[in-house]
Structure formats: C-alpha cells, structure tokens
Amino acid sequence: MRVLVSGGAGYIGSHTVVHLVAAGHDVVIVDSFANSKPAVIGRLEALTGRHLPVHAFDLTDRDKTERLFGDESFDAVVHFAGLKAVGESARIPLDYYENNLDATFSLVRAMRRHGVKLLVFSSSATVYGEQAPLPYREDYAPLQSSSPYGRTKVMIEQVLTDVAAADPSMRFALLRYFNPVGTHPSGTIGEDPQDIPNNLMPFLAQVAVGRRDKLIVFGDDYPTDDGTCERDYIHVEDLAAGHVAALGRLTTTNSPVSVWNLGTGRGTSVLELVHAFERAVGRELPYEIGPRRPGDLPRSWADPGRAHAELGWSTTKSVDDMCADTWRWQSANPMGYEG
Ligand code: NAD
C-alpha cells in the first residue's frame, strides 16, 4: 500500500516508517518538524535503502493538506503528528487542542474527499483516566484524562468514532500506546527530545551520557512493591510492528472502528528501570528521590489480549533490550541527531 505517515520524522513515526517499508509498503512522510529534526530522514533512507518523499508543512493548514492529497494518491494514513508533552499541555492548552485536533480534522477531511478509507491513529493509555481498573481493557468507559494533552486523545477518539458512524466504509484503528521506549537496534535512529526530557528513559539516557547531573525519582511512597510508580514500558520496535499489524487488519475487518491496546501487560517500576539501565551502561547512575509529581498514577499496565487475538501481534523485547538499544543510540549520538 502507499501509506502517508504524518509525524513520520518523530520518535515513534520514524521507527514505524522502517517497519512499513520492510513490510513492502511505499511510504510518504508529512511532518512540520515542530518536534523533530530533518536529519532523521537521511538516517531513515540509509536504514531502509529507499528514497522517502517528505512534505514539510503543518497539517493544521487545510489548503496544503488538501493539495497533498490532490497531488498524490494514498491507500492509508498512519497519523502520529501531534504535540505530546503532558506538563506543557497544561501551560498552553489552546495550542494543544488547536494542533492535535485541527491536524486530525484536516487529514480526515482530505481522506474523505479523496476516498482514502484507512487510518491508524496514535492514541494513548492516558485515555483510561484515574478510575479504570488494572489491567486496562479497551472496553472500559467512560474515557477521561487528567491533562489537556490526554483530552485531545479522548476527543479525537470520539471524533473518529462519530465520523465512522456517519460513513461506515471508513476503517479506523485507535491504538492506545502504553510507555514507548527503546530505539532501533542499529542505534542510528532514536528518541531525541528537543528540551529537558519529560519521560524517564530519555532522561536516564542523558544522565548516563553526562548531559544531566542526576535523575530525580518522583516519589517513593506509592502503594507499589518498591514505592516508585510502575508503568508498562513497550519497546518502540514492538510498537512499530503493532502498527503494521493494525494496518493489515484494517484491510480485512468489517468494523469501522477498532481499538487495540499496545503494551506488554507487565508493570516495571522506576527503580527497576533505573537498575536495568545501569546494567546496560555497566555502571551506577546518580539518582535522588524527590517529591511526587502531580497527576502521576501509581500503576498502569495494559491487557494486550485483544491485540494478541485480533492482530496476531505480541511484544518480543525485554526491559533489558529496551535499555541496551537506548544506550546504543544515546552513546553513539550524545546530542541526538545534531550531535
Ligand atoms: P514526536 O513529537 O517525536 O513525533 C510527533 C511528530 O509530529 C514530530 O515530528 C512533530 O514535528 C510532528 N508534528 C506535530 N504536530 C504537527 C502538525 N500539526 N503537522 C505536522 N507535523 C506535526 O512524538 P512521538 O513520541 O513520536 O509520538 C507520536 C504520537 O504518539 C503522538 O501523537 C503522541 O501523542 C502519541 N503517543 C506518544 C507516546 C509517547 O510516550 N511517546 C505515548 C502515547 C501516545
């Protein structure tokens, strides 16, 4: 299939591009580079051995989006483009609602106008909110989230569900990611936060490479085994493979909307991840226990059973793989793509 990958220069998008090409798809990337570097494209072309057409514009621009769909033809869209920092979304909510919703509106409008039926959307475990019982299952309702970022995901899931109800020939996959970490095993592409990392793994990697003094662990008095928060870390390579499987399933399913959790089904605590990263690096890393971070839930993990059954997909990589690959990328690229 000819697949348009929105946000294909970003962390998860770039890894998925490699998997889509390996699965035989033709990939076209659209990205504003608001949170990524053009240098990733050369690395992707080296990894895939393909020329990858790139359209550099902001998808909230409806005219440009419409023109792209007029000039080229696509069979499917994999939609990663969006702003994703939870804390920032509370400071500039309007930017988050505008960017994430408008980009989706303009993509889906262009898809409908040009007869493109298949869309895979990056949702998040954050839509389960604070009340859902563990493990999180796709049939849980009502969806809610404690941040403007998370609410953009809840809203987009609802919008896509409404669009599919009005036009049941559409096929939408809503993929609820748990905590993506790790990098391509080559160490040539990876996560390259533009600012202070918001997430544990890239922060740890920057401590290990000497860009940050120490890690602050946000609280060790949670009701968990070691007192630190537990998350369902999923290797980005497994996550990328999940997109290829979901796209394939959209071509055969009769359901206009499919929701799949992409997680391992296991929780790993902050301290367990720190110690796994220390094993990958081969030395101890400086960390300090600090106060809790507002909004953090003690524990979160997926029930990935539906994705196993319906996609024939499951995760293959361990927490040690996630750390070893991240360290390979970070040590070879201490300053990210521009290092
Ligand atoms: P990322 O920031 O690395 O990638 C997103 C890409 O989209 C960037 O390259 C950015 O430049 C681009 N972009 C943003 N707004 C755009 C717009 N209006 N037009 C064109 N391009 C635009 O983020 P990521 O970690 O790769 O996440 C990809 C998707 O997965 C996002 O939608 C994110 O919300 C979702 N997600 C991420 C995580 C995570 O922990 N990384 C977890 C759950 C869901």
Q: Are 184 and 238 in contact (CB under 8 A)?
A: no
**Both 217 and 131 in a single domain?**
no
Residue 70 belongs to some domain of the structure = yes
**Both 147 and 204 in a single domain?**
no
Q: Please report, for the domain that includes residue 162, its CATH number.
A: 3.40.50.720
pLDDT band, very low/low/confident/very high, at 230 (cuts 50, 70, 90): very high
Q: Is 189 left (phi over 0), alpha (psi -120 to 50) or beta?
A: beta
Rounded CA separation 79/103 (Å): 9
Instruction: Name which residue sits closest to atom 30 of ligand 1, judged by CA.
Output: 122
The verdict on whether 97 is a catalytic residue reads no
pLDDT band, very low/low/confident/very high, at 339 (cuts 50, 70, 90): low
pLDDT band, very low/low/confident/very high, at 217 (cuts 50, 70, 90): very high
Instruction: Name which residue sits closest to atom 1 of ligand 1, judged by CA.
Output: 10
Residue 25 belongs to some domain of the structure = yes
Model confidence, pTM: 0.98
Q: Catalytic residue, from 96, 149, 177, 222: name it.
A: 149
Kindly give the number of the ligand 1 atom that is closest to the alpha carbon of 58: 19
**Both 288 and 152 in a single domain?**
no
Angle between the N-to-C axes of helices 270-281 and 319-332, in degrees from 0 to 180, rounded to the nearest 10: 50
- The SS3 call for residue 64 is helix
Check residue 295 and give its pLDDT. 85
Q: What is the mean pLDDT of residues 278-285?
A: 98
CA of 297 to the centre of ligand 1 (A): 22
Residue 194 belongs to some domain of the structure = no
**Both 136 and 254 in a single domain?**
yes
CA distances from 231 to 80, 135, 241, 266, 269 (A): 22, 11, 20, 8, 6
Burial, 66: exposed, middle or buried (Cβ in 10 Å; 0-12, 13-18, 19+)?
Answer: middle
Cα angle 262, 81, 256 (rounded to 5 degrees) comes to 55
Cis peptide bond prior to 135, omega within 30° of 0: yes
The pLDDT tens digits of the residues spanning 152-192 come to 999 999 999 999 999 999 999 999 999 999 999 999 999 99
Q: Please report, for the domain that includes residue 330, its CATH number.
A: 3.90.25.10
Task: Provide the Cα torsion 39, 81, 47, 199; round to 10°.
Answer: 80
* Ligand 1 probe mutation, 14, 19, 32, most atoms within 8 A of CB: 32
Ligand 1 pocket: which residues have CB below 6 Å?
A: 7, 9-13, 31-36, 58-60, 80-84, 99, 103, 122, 124, 177, 180
Residue 89 belongs to some domain of the structure = yes
**Both 37 and 173 in a single domain?**
yes
Residue 30 belongs to some domain of the structure = yes
Rounded CA separation 157/123 (Å): 8
CA of 324 to the centre of ligand 1 (A): 24
Closest alpha carbon to 95 in 84, 108, 109, 79: 84
**Both 40 and 142 in a single domain?**
yes
> How many folded domains does the chain comprise?
2
Q: Is the pLDDT of residue 338 over 90?
A: no
**Both 70 and 168 in a single domain?**
yes
Domain limits for position 275: 200-231+266-301+317-338
CA of 225 to the centre of ligand 1 (A): 32
Q: Is the pLDDT of residue 315 over 70?
A: yes
CA of 58 to the centre of ligand 1 (A): 13
**Both 91 and 225 in a single domain?**
no
Q: What is the mean pLDDT of residues 314-338?
A: 97
**Both 41 and 178 in a single domain?**
yes
Token code pair at residue 243: 């997109």
Check residue 294 and give its pLDDT. 87
CA of 199 to the centre of ligand 1 (A): 14
Cis peptide bond prior to 93, omega within 30° of 0: no
Rounded CA separation 286/273 (Å): 13
Instruction: Name which residue sits closest to atom 39 of ligand 1, judged by CA.
Output: 180
Residue 309 belongs to some domain of the structure = no
Region of poorest pLDDT, from 107-111, 178-182, 195-199, 247-251: 195-199
**Both 167 and 206 in a single domain?**
no
pLDDT, the chain, mean:
97
Residue 56 belongs to some domain of the structure = yes
Residue 102 belongs to some domain of the structure = yes
**Both 125 and 85 in a single domain?**
yes
Q: What is the mean pLDDT of residues 109-131?
A: 98
**Both 279 and 165 in a single domain?**
no
